[in-house]
Amino acid sequence: MTEKLVEIKDLEISFGEGKKKFVAVKNANFFINKGETFSLVGESGSGKTTIGRAIIGLNDTSSGQIVYDGKVINGKKTSAEQQDLIRKIQMIFQDPAASLNERATVDYIISEGLYNFNLFKNDAERQEKVSEMMTQVGLLKEHLSRYPHEFSGGQRQRIGIARALVMEPEFIIADEPISALDVSVRAQVLNLLKKFQEEKGLTYLFIAHDLSVVRFVSDRIAVIYKGVIVEVAETEELFQNPIHPYTKSLLSAVPIPDPILERKKELIVYDPEQHDYRTDKPEMVEIKPGHFVWGNKQEMAAYRENL
């Protein structure tokens, strides 16, 4: 039986108070199995990164639970528990330029976590760990004395990956790790992430807006719209049998490499006004084994008719 590593239960994340309160994420429910890549997909501002930052503890939650390895982690924690989570959960940020300290050498950037958690016996062991990680991400040991501005975008992202992996984490949140990179470099970084997953048994939460990319890396996908997760399914199931109209809209926007087929393609425009939730409240329902959809009773009846 597959073991769950992360479970999100009825999660709500809001900012501000009173009339200025803004609910960024509501009723979020999903789980991530150990060793899999779970992707969270949606347009800009939909709440993807907000959820990722909440899991790692950078965003506070209003209600609901974030469960990691059987323990609730979005409540009060001891200093020891907090330190343990920081080591086990690492994040690869979207902008490789902004997430690296321009005044620090690559050697210090990658070593910072080792220093903070005392993960080496002596400096020779630290240097060995850092040098080995540089080699694994495809960079040279000679690069350690350089500064981030001396590298290309793809190289800086590799430094960010090395900084996360040198901590030997169990779970990595990859927040749009390739969106700032050239197309030619994207495949290299994705292949690098898959390589480390196979070698180290890592679990990924992969945050993205490009469905064509997540199809390549994901085991399962959750689609989010304006803070609400509307559909969760295994990757090929979602692509072959999308159910929620917003998912269908996203899939229709994926470019087709054949120009003739691309011109014939019919775009589906999602209209949120078609949903009337004033009396018939929606919920997440498992409409098929492993395939969950957000909707009310009337919508579920219509979805089941079209299966």
Q: Supply the CATH number for residue 198's domain.
A: 3.40.50.300
Q: What is the domain count for the chain?
A: 1
288 strand-pairing partners:
291
179: helix, strand or coil = coil
How do the residues of the chain divide into helix, strand and coil, expressed in percent and rounded to 5? 40, 25, 35
Residue with tokens 């997760």: 229
Which residues form the domain of 161? Answer: 4-305
Spell out the per-residue pLDDT of the chain, length 307, in tens: 579 999 999 999 999 988 889 999 999 999 999 999 999 999 888 999 999 999 999 999 999 999 999 999 998 888 888 999 999 999 998 887 788 999 999 999 999 999 988 889 999 999 999 999 998 888 898 999 999 999 988 899 889 999 999 999 999 999 988 877 777 778 888 888 899 899 999 999 999 988 878 888 899 999 999 999 999 999 999 999 999 999 999 998 887 877 887 788 888 888 888 888 888 899 999 999 999 999 999 999 999 988 7
**43: which DSSP letter?**
-
pLDDT at 1: 57
Integer-rounded Cα Rg, in Å, for the chain is 21
Q: At a CB cut-off of 8 Å and minimum separation 6, what does 95 contact? A: 180
Which residues of the chain form beta strands (DSSP E)? 4-15, 22-33, 37-41, 63-68, 71-72, 89-92, 171-175, 203-208, 220-225, 228-234, 283-288, 291-295
Q: Looking at this protein, which amino acid is placed at residue 251?
A: L
DSSP label at residue 265: P
The conformation of residue 105, written as its DSSP 8-state character, comes to: -
Count the neighbouring beta carbons within 10 Å of the beta carbon of residue 301.
10
pLDDT of residue 278: 84
Q: Which residues pair with 23 in a beta bridge?
A: 14
Contact 206, 39 (CB under 8 A): yes
Model pTM?
0.90
* Exposed e or buried b per residue across 153-189, where buried means at least 16 C-beta atoms within 10 angstroms of its C-beta: bbbbbbbbbbbbbbbebbbbbbbbbbebbeeebbeeb
Encoding tokens for residue 1?
């039986």
The C-alpha torsion from 115 through 170 and 222 to 97, rounded to 10°, is 30
